[in-house]
Structure 1
Amino acid sequence: MYDSLLALEATEDGVLVLDPSNFADAVAENPTLLVEFYAPWCGHCKKLAPEYAKAAEALAKEDLKIAKVDCDAHKDLAKEYGVSGFPTLKLLKEGKPTDYQGGRTADDIIKYVMKKSGPAAKTLATKAEATAFEGEDEAVVLGLFSSADSPEAKTFMSVANGIDRLPFATSSTKEVLKAYDAGKGGKVVIMKTFDEKKAVLDVTSSTTEEEMADWIEGASMRLVTTFSPETSSAIFGGKVKVHMLYMADASSSTFEAESAALTKAASTNRGKLLHVHVPHTEDRVLQYFGAKADNLPMVVIADMTSNSAIKKYMYADEITEAGLLAFEKKFFDGELVPTLKSEEPADEDLAEPVKVLKGKSFSKLVLENDKDVMVEFYAPWCGHCKALAPKYDELASKLEGVDSVVVAKMDATENEIDVEGVAVAGFPTLFFFPGKGKGSPMKYEGARETEDLAKFIMDNASTPFKLEGVESEDVKDEL
């Protein structure tokens, strides 16, 4: 008993340090517990560490704790919680895990944990409380209703529970409703420090959660959001999955006129399409879309609505309000054709045990044959990919004598595919394409160890095979 109590007090920079001996006790002691699963060698984890420590210090003042697990030292815990990349953050609410999808700044983490530890929306009784609430963030959401028990109020609370990046509050008092010209209620009001400052949605008992949530997601964002590490979670984590990206140098002579045109165009399809300025210094974003600092400005629509890869539509005309709106209309009318990048295939692509795929060769080598194909989508700069490389090479060598299986990789920063069910949102991403089911690719979510990968391929192979030292599920079942 005393050992477990002492273990719970083990901290680094205010963050609980968990292992198999104290994990369950920590979850029991903390009804809302955010846990970071990390690896000591991981660059992203090292970058997160000071922000996570700042968040821990601030949350401690509210009697809230956050924790971390060293997954190199405690692989079984990582496996139990389905951790396949680092850092992975999971919220344990009454012991039930959900993935953390928020930003990686101290402020993002603090807001998330605070919201998840309390009610989805505050209750405001006075105008003074409402005024104070407005100061909590650059955009806040108020639900103003005749009664907290009304259907509209209940819908609002459900929506508030599902949107983590914004503060929510509700009120049914005459004083607060009058302060926001809400009459007898039935309104959702967003107060902002930017753009039009205030947005209002009239709601009725027939307003659905989806309608309300979609409006809040759209109206709470800036007409044009500037991409940065701080805004990326709001941009990519929101419900609007079609983005117009304006990649440009803010110091260029054309920037003022072009950004003004983008801002004017943004109001037309607000809520359907998110407008984003990507600074010329965001090298990885530029690289992903095939842009370079010396060929800017560039405008592209990125469509992330399907289960396949991001579809990109390149804009080639002068950047004007009319031109951008015409381009958006063509997109929504289905008149645009996506652009796919590809390196040129070469003879040496097939020389090694791990076959190299290019955008132009993907269909022939993966989809148009009856072999089982495991594909790693990677980025050359990705630390996780570099850590996987020797294990993946070993996997390919083990399977080189199995004619029915191909182990392959593709540089997803230089090559793109449009295959239903294949979405590459991070690196590395691994998909298995069964020889007898190429239309149903399987995303690999297991441990990135040679034996685990080999076992997965054996268990899902269209043509059964055996490997020395690796047991398939079928063999275990027979035993």
Structure 2
Amino acid sequence: MYIYFSYLYDHVDETYTHSKTSQPPPPPPLPPMLGQFVVLISLLVSWSLGQSVFANEDDPIIERVGASNFAQAITSKDIILAEFTVPWCPHSKIFFPQLYSAAQQLKPHGIDIIQINCEKDEYICTELKINHYPTLKVFKNHRLARTADAEKDKTTEGIVQFMLAQQVSSVQKISTEEQLQDILQTNEENFVVVENAVTGFNKTYTELANEMFNTHVFVSFESKNNETNYDLAIYKPFNTTLNETRGEPIVYTGDLQPIMDSSQEFNSWLRYSVLPYFAEVTQDTFFSYMESKLPLAYYFYINKTDFEKDMPYFEKLGQKYKGQVNFIGLNALLFHNHVKFLNMREQFPLFAIHNMTNNRKYGIKQMPAEEYQNLKQVPFLNLEEVAQLVEDFVQGVADPLVKSEEIPETQEGNVLKVVAKNHDEIVHDANRDVIVRYYASWDVHSKSMEPLYNELADIFAQDESTRDKILFVDVDAGSNDILAFPVTSYPTIAMYPAGSESEPIVQQGPKTGKFLLSFIQNSGAHKLSGQEQYYARHPEEKQQKLPAVNDNGDVIVNADPDLKQEADPVEHDEL
């Protein structure tokens, strides 16, 4: 999910760019009253630009946090609001008085507000994938609240009300059916999740409630309620049932143990259970399907009549494979660009499946391009082929569609460019450690890391004692499908130790020179050290101690690669 939406996000601004060299014609004179208004706005903007976005260093109301104390700060209180910004951001300057006033009101309630300078401590903001300023993030119970949206109302009153609401328990305890009905009536626009005193479920139930309390109301019976004939259910809001009432609850009927053991499994069920068997999707509803994390089956249509004719068939498929595959319909005239993402040609109608867990794509057989271009009318979708592909996919025997660039004829520099066609034979080297940067050409984090990665490759290549023992590789994973190592976020750094055929070792933590060098030394078979050469170029990094993010997205309090101490993890948000 992160890969796809990062791609969308990184292309949004292209619509709003303007030429710095073009000179627009002078504007017409403004009416007197409008002119006075513009002058007033100009004065307000000038005043705001003269303000600082940060509190003073010794300010007792808002703490300025940096690399050395970031993790300690967010684990110091149960609820903390963090602002990520930069000194030059005009929006942050205008916003700061509201933030400061909110901090003053929240302080007596034990809620702190902290600030992080993303210009000074860029790597923190990169690790947490901060992509606009100011960004507000809530840390609750020492973890980043994934769904807590603190940015809906950036007024003092809005911030205070939102943060005080975080102190309320995420799970409402009840004992009677009447109490449940009262909750359903007072929360008509929210999903209501009900747990009927299931033994051993409390920890996972509360954990997910803390993440999803902004969109779901979580209710728990203190003792088994015999009037309620289910263990776990979810009630849909009345405005999603197309009726004036909620309708019957959606009851969980499978084995409860996987959900009790994993909040991710529980989360997935809450997402997909409320989705229809099959529906036409818009830009507004597409994200709901992505959130479920289930494989997504796409039916691209051109003719609305054909879509309505095929709809009952896809509804039956959706019912048959509920909980295994989600089925959606897309207007090919509006979403034709998405076909390229699925490794398919724009031949409609079209059916494809995307497994978001490993980023593999599957599709029905397509015509040669010339044959399709010579068609006199829109072809029909072969529904038997569709059904067979879905069944093969569920059984794990479908063949994925593999995208690969051509193998480069020439190479430049000390980083080898590798594609899907030659990936496996390159990365498994009998004599050399192979470190790979899986990136996407459109990803800003990949672009910012490229100079450092190239520099490290140069350092090892220039040393006669190391040049033949390590190979630096670049793979554009946005243009090449690596089936042996599905990439789920960019950039990903992986080590294939010399002489090993096992799974690669994935680098965790900040992608700084210090951390990458430690990763190379600790994970490679040759235990190569490039610290001396690197610190000669960057002496300021030698004593740097930085918090890191592990494979669960948790921030480690003391992440110096030379130290092994860890503290309570803090989960980070994948945007």
Q: TM-score, normalised by structure 2?
A: 0.60
What is the deviation of 1:361?
0.9
Q: CA contact under 8 A between 2:198 and 2:231: conserved in structure 1?
A: no
Q: Does 2:233 match 1:189? A: yes
Q: CA contact under 8 A between 1:224 and 1:263: conserved in structure 2?
A: yes
Query: What one-letter code is carried by the residue in structure 2 that aligns with 1:405?
Result: I
Choose from 435, 449, 457 the match for 2:498: 435
Q: Does 2:414 match 1:414? A: no
**Mapped partners of 1:403, 1:167: distance in 2:** 56
- The match for 1:13 is none
What is the deviation of 1:384?
1.5
- The match for 2:376 is none
Choose from 89, 104, 127 the match for 1:83: 127
Q: CA contact under 8 A between 2:439 and 2:446: conserved in structure 1?
A: yes
What is the deviation of 1:418?
1.5
Q: Does 2:362 match 1:313? A: yes
- The match for 1:162 is 208
Q: CA contact under 8 A between 1:377 and 1:429: conserved in structure 2?
A: yes
- The match for 1:338 is 400
Q: Does 2:443 match 1:382? A: yes
Deviations 1:316-362, CA, capped at 9 Å, x for gaps? 386476654433222222331122111111321x3332211111010
How many aligned residue pairs are there? 431
Q: Does 2:439 match 1:395? A: no
Query: What one-letter code is carried by the residue in structure 1 that aligns with 2:503?
Result: S
**Mapped partners of 1:66, 1:227: distance in 2:** 39
What is the deviation of 1:297?
4.2
Matches within 5 A, 1:218-367: 218-224=272-278, 234-238=288-292, 240-247=293-300, 254-259=306-311, 261-277=313-329, 285-291=338-344, 294-305=346-357, 309-316=358-365, 319=381, 323-348=385-410, 350-367=411-428
**Mapped partners of 1:69, 1:465: distance in 2:** 35
**Mapped partners of 1:22, 1:452: distance in 2:** 18
Q: Could you say if the C-alpha distance between residues 168 and 321 of structure 1 is closer, same or farther in structure 2, counting changes exceeding 3 Å?
A: farther
Q: Could you say if the C-alpha distance between residues 276 and 371 of structure 1 is closer, same or farther in structure 2, counting changes exceeding 3 Å?
A: farther
Q: TM-score, normalised by structure 1?
A: 0.71
Matches within 5 A, 1:102-113: 102=147, 106=151
- The match for 2:172 is 122
Q: CA contact under 8 A between 1:121 and 1:170: conserved in structure 2?
A: yes
Q: Does 2:59 match 1:6? A: yes
What is the deviation of 1:459?
3.5
**Mapped partners of 1:248, 1:29: distance in 2:** 54
Q: Could you say if the C-alpha distance between residues 442 and 207 of structure 1 is closer, same or farther in structure 2, counting changes exceeding 3 Å?
A: closer
**Mapped partners of 1:404, 1:103: distance in 2:** 47
Q: CA contact under 8 A between 1:37 and 1:68: conserved in structure 2?
A: yes
- The match for 1:151 is 198
- Secondary structure at the aligned position of 1:302 is classed as strand
Larger RCO, structures 1/2 (Cα 8 Å, 6+ apart): 2
Choose from 462, 473, 476 the match for 2:525: 462
- Secondary structure at the aligned position of 2:320 is classed as coil
Q: Percent identity?
A: 18
Q: Could you say if the C-alpha distance between residues 231 and 359 of structure 1 is closer, same or farther in structure 2, counting changes exceeding 3 Å?
A: same
- Secondary structure at the aligned position of 1:392 is classed as helix
- RMSD over aligned Cα atoms: 4.9
Q: CA contact under 8 A between 2:361 and 2:400: conserved in structure 1?
A: yes
- Secondary structure at the aligned position of 2:414 is classed as coil
Q: Does 2:193 match 1:141? A: yes
Structure 2 residue ranges without an equivalent (≥5): 1-54, 367-379, 536-541, 544-560, 564-575
Deviations 1:277-325, CA, capped at 9 Å, x for gaps? 4565568754332246x434432222345xxx42222123864766544
**Mapped partners of 1:7, 1:227: distance in 2:** 49
**Mapped partners of 2:250, 2:198: distance in 1:** 18
Q: Could you say if the C-alpha distance between residues 252 and 85 of structure 1 is closer, same or farther in structure 2, counting changes exceeding 3 Å?
A: same
Q: Could you say if the C-alpha distance between residues 331 and 465 of structure 1 is closer, same or farther in structure 2, counting changes exceeding 3 Å?
A: closer
What is the deviation of 1:435?
1.2
**Mapped partners of 1:28, 1:375: distance in 2:** 34
**Mapped partners of 1:382, 1:403: distance in 2:** 31
- The match for 1:198 is 248
Q: Could you say if the C-alpha distance between residues 113 and 141 of structure 1 is closer, same or farther in structure 2, counting changes exceeding 3 Å?
A: farther
What is the deviation of 1:392?
2.1
**Mapped partners of 1:102, 1:128: distance in 2:** 25
Deviations 1:200-237, CA, capped at 9 Å, x for gaps? 42779x84362793654432234347767766664444
Deviations 1:248-302, CA, capped at 9 Å, x for gaps? 56x766444445543342121111222244565568754332246x434432222
Structure 1 residue ranges without an equivalent (≥5): 11-16
Q: CA contact under 8 A between 2:137 and 2:148: conserved in structure 1?
A: no
**Mapped partners of 2:58, 2:505: distance in 1:** 43
Query: What one-letter code is carried by the residue in structure 2 that aligns with 1:413?
Result: G
- Secondary structure at the aligned position of 2:455 is classed as helix
Q: CA contact under 8 A between 1:264 and 1:321: conserved in structure 2?
A: no
